[in-house]
């Protein structure tokens, strides 16, 4: 038998069951968090913050409790992450906020605001100064500088230009049951609330889509597209229903 002298008792911990494995993980997690804090990262609650070994984080970034940062993620300086946020294999620029959201395998620019409760799925490219708001899902989409989808939208398989406003409840209808198709929204477009863009379709630069429209054909530049039925009011309809008699 041979004996080895260790300067740190924790190095001698044997992992023989799930309890010991948990103890070893806690030791390594503490080391990783301490390394980031000594490099200028603020971790509000290290006990509830999980950062994997290959993650890089810039100075003056704040990590709030309940955050999981995984894979080879790179987070810039002066960012705000969490609480209750999961980031995996992403590159995030300086000054970006990701609040109570999930971001996977995507590129996020600087001064972006994501969340709360947003989901950025793989192969998305979010440019600088974008806003991805409450309950917005982005998937395999390029989102141009200064554009925003503030709430309750699904944008998938799309190319969104710069300074685009996507109204509440808008959807890129990208799937026909067999294949996925691309939606293109060019610069300075305004998409009204509760609009459906049925791919493949292009909305030209500077165009407006009226609220409640279902767009199935390309919209020319600087046009207003209205695609909804004319409102019809049927007087006294309700009082003549059978259950009112």
**Among this protein's residues, is 151 annotated catalytic?**
yes
Tens of pLDDT along 31-77? Answer: 999 999 999 999 999 999 999 999 999 999 999 999 999 999 999 99
Residue among 36, 119, 151, 217 flagged as catalytic: 151
The mean of the pLDDT values for the chain is 94
Note the CATH number of domain 123-229. Answer: 2.160.10.10
224-245 burial, b if ≥16 CB within 10 A, otherwise e?
Answer: ebebeeeeeeeeeeeeeeeeee
The fold of the 13-122 domain, in CATH, is UDP N-Acetylglucosamine Acyltransferase; domain 1 (2.160.10)
Q: What is the pLDDT of residue 17?
A: 84
For residue 121, the model assigns a pLDDT of 98
Query: Residue 65 class from Cβ within 10 Å (0-12 exposed, 13-18 middle, 19+ buried)?
Result: middle
User: In the chain, what are the domain boundaries?
Assistant: 13-122, 123-229
Burial of 62 (C-beta count, 10 Å sphere; 0-12/13-18/19+) = middle
The pLDDT assigned to 163 comes to: 98
Mean pLDDT of 132-140: 98
Higher pLDDT, 15 or 206: 206
Q: Do domains 13-122 and 123-229 have the same CATH topology?
A: yes
Could you read off the pLDDT of 194-219 as tens digits, one per residue? Answer: 999 999 999 999 999 999 999 999 99
């Amino acid at each position: 038998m041979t004996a080895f002298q260790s300067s740190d008792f924790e190095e001698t911990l044997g992992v023989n069951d799930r309890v010991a494995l948990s103890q070893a993980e806690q030791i390594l997690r503490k080391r990783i968090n301490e390394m980031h804090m000594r490099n200028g990262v603020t971790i509000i609650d290290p006990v509830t913050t999980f950062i994997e070994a290959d993650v890089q984080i810039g100075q003056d970034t704040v990590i709030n409790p309940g955050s999981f940062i995984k894979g080879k993620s790179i987070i810039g300086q002066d960012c705000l992450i969490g609480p209750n946020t999961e980031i995996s294999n992403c590159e995030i620029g300086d000054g970006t906020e990701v609040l109570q959201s999930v971001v996977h395998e995507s590129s996020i620019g600087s001064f972006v605001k994501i969340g709360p409760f947003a989901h950025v799925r793989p192969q998305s490219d979010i440019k600088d100064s974008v806003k991805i708001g409450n309950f917005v899902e982005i998937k395999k989409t390029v989102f141009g500088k200064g554009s925003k989808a503030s709430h309750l939208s699904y944008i998938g398989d799309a190319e969104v230009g710069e300074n685009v406003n996507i109204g509440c409840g808008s959807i890129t209808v990208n799937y026909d049951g067999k294949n996925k198709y691309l939606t293109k929204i060019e610069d300075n477009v305004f998409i009204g609330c509760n609009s459906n863009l049925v791919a493949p379709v292009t909305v030209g630069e500077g165009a407006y889509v009226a609220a409640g429209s279902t767009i199935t054909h390309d919209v020319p530049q600087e046009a207003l597209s209205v695609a909804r039925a004319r409102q019809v009011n049927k007087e006294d309809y309700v009082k003549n229903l059978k259950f009112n008699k």
